[in-house]
Amino acid sequence: MKLAYRTIGEGQPLVILHGLFGSGDNWLTISKVLSDRHQIFLVDQRNHGRSPHSDEWTYKAMADDLYAFLQEHNLQNPILIGHSMGGKTVMQFAITYPNVARKIVVVDIAPKLYPPHHQDVLAGLHAVDLANITSRNDAEAAMATAIKEADVRQFLLKNLYRNENGQFAWRVNLPLITQKIEEIGVTQTSPTPVQIPALFVRGALSKYIKDADLALIQNLFPNSELKTIEGAGHWVQAEKPAEFVQAVQPFLYE
């Protein structure tokens, strides 16, 4: 599958993968800061952004997509960064394709099982009657019946666009994601430890990586370290961009 992407900067290749309901554009602010020493590829994963939709939606498939992307662009020894869903893709890639990436950064996600917990988001998206809304404000008002947080609604509305017929549509594959939402939280496992250098970054206010998860992370990625960003929730890089960059730069440059 040929993935949509944009690139910025020159230097060591750095590929960034977004989270659920996101796109590569979510990382534009961070990429501009890191592009002084890296050629950054902001990739839309399958069923997201401007990348193709597919009925197959597993981390193995998304890891295979990433491998094909690296081969297509002849990216040697890349560094991979992934947030949430993207972080699980990056972990799966390191398991499936050892010795391809130079190092990985996993943002606010662990290789453990997460039960489905996006019911409100899905309800809000399905509340939007795409055939009858006339503006983004109409869409947000419909979403507000299920999604109370204004910032979450604004994030999701980045997926709303007008198609070639001038009709409103979602860039994400909403029917497929709704059907297979359990896939987003599956466990990453490996018969042997993965030796790639790995940095895990979590938000202190987030519940996605708990202290009890550290042993699991260390067992799977023994050459890993964890950094915690104070005052940040799950969207670490968006909520505390300067602190996030300060946390990852030493790892990227060493």
Pairing mode, if any, of strands 5-8 and 38-43?
antiparallel
Nearest to 63 by CA among 104, 12, 11, 118: 104
Nearest to 78 by CA among 19, 1, 29, 17: 17
Q: Exactly one of 84, 117, 206, 224 is catalytic; which is it? A: 84
Nearest to 153 by CA among 162, 145, 161, 163: 145
- Residues 59, 61: Cα–Cα separation, whole Å: 5
- Residues 91, 94: Cα–Cα separation, whole Å: 5
Beta pairing partners, 102: none
Q: Exactly one of 18, 48, 83, 234 is catalytic; which is it? A: 234
Are the CB atoms for 56 and 21 separated by under 8 Å? no
Helix (H, G, I), strand (E, B) or coil at 107: strand
Q: Is 83 one of the catalytic residues?
A: no
Q: Is 38 one of the catalytic residues?
A: no
Residues annotated as part of the active site: 84, 234
